Structure 1
């Protein structure tokens, strides 16, 4: 963990999870089943420490059956937009979810008591994803940066090359919107996700670091993500794989 320590972290009363969805009818069930398991694990936390959870799926310019698939998870809120930009989807989704959290509760949480977690529709979080993030938050973390692991779309020899180029461990250098958590007051102070179609996660973390947030860079909660080469975001993880796994003569690590 880096950044200034805090003697007493505010108790998290609400967790907001926002997932941008862009033509993910095939992988979306995996994502939502994994989120359900992570929420179930959080529900095992004893009262009064157990937070309330709001999940919002932002269906952004979907032309497939993603909306119909998402409707099968009736406990998750849905919003449809036509931005075609992941930064816009995350930004607008978080704004709506925060507004819902603040208006639905009699004991409305302050921004310092709301935790924002983000992942992607082509990804699957581990069951302890939320429990671990909130444990880190209780210990003073205002930003949690997790790792990702490609799924079986990446062949075994390609996975070996990816692992050779991708440092994974505590204190890792990577930034992934598919595995990120941040306290809402710090998120708002940093100016929110930029309304861009790429690198919105990297830009947010840079702004948070300018504020001097206390961050935890952990490998304890790896998120399984698609190993495909053609992704929905121009400079997303699929682009990373094309540039670094497919290139036979390229070496080094891109920090994402």
Structure 2
């Protein structure tokens, strides 16, 4: 692994949202707890949260403003563009702080993060990792028990896991700039970013120590992604494991991007 980056001065959380008025409040509450925990243990690190409200027709933007959270409004209808708008906002607000001292933590508006989420990401970043790929667990309260058992049969959540989720992905701002950030695609922007960081030869890790909980709804905001994977799993014989996703499914437009099989370094 290369030498550790300079000490991080800023942690900026980016949350893309499309009509998420029902689930966003729980997400923001969890982020408030996570940023408070980070400030408590690392008071020298500035924390920020930006919600990117993309083509919202509900109260997502209003709820964000009411919570006192930084808001970017967008009319793209594209999660890749929404995430990249968050990266641009992190760059803008970083001001004179060097990009290699800014950590960008990505999650989703339908996701709840643990209190130590940012603290653990930053601890891994401090060791020299320029990207931290975390795990996602569906909310068991939203999921049929048989589907939940099937989900566990086809997932192995541990260190060096093979999964990629935009709902749990931390990257240094310098690494994002180096690889061109998130691709302007409607699905799979997270996998494409991970591949780009890998190709650039930057140190990274896949960990289960930063696990988040995501809504187990089966009606997806996009074609594909986590909700689509759960819907397909529900529709199959839940006594059999679902097939793993191959790289060829990542770039094809209706392909599933719920998981990738990167090799941690």
Q: TM-score, normalised by structure 2?
A: 0.89
In 1: Cα distance, 2:185 partner to 2:4 partner: 35
| Alignment equivalent of 1:251, drawn from 236, 242, 247 | 242
The reply to whether residue 58 of structure 1 matches residue 52 of structure 2 is: yes
Deviation at residue 18 of structure 1 after TM alignment: 0.8
1:228-255 per-position Cα deviation (integer Å, ceiling 9, x unaligned): 1111121211111122343116633332
2: CA distance, partners of 1:109 / 1:194? 24
Which residue, 12, 17, 20 being the options, matches 1:21?
A: 17
**1:77 equivalenced with 2:70 (yes/no):** yes
> What's the TM-score, normalizing by structure 1?
0.92
Of residues 199, 204, 223, the one that matches 2:188 is: 199
Secondary structure, counterpart of 2:232 in structure 1: helix
Alignment of 1:140 with 2:128, yes or no, is yes
- State the aligned residue count: 244
CA contact (8 A) 1:21 1:60 kept: yes
| Alignment RMSD (CA, Å) | 1.3
Larger RCO, structure (CA 8 Å, separation 6 or more): 1
| 8 A contact 2:164–2:191 mirrored in 1 | yes
Helix, strand or coil at the partner of 2:52 = strand
Unaligned 5+ runs, structure 1: 103-107
Structure 2: segments with no counterpart, 5+ residues = 246-258, 261-265
Q: How does 1:1-256 map to 2 (within 5 A)?
A: 5-47=1-43, 50-74=44-68, 76-102=69-95, 108-151=96-139, 152-248=141-237, 251-254=242-245, 255-256=259-260
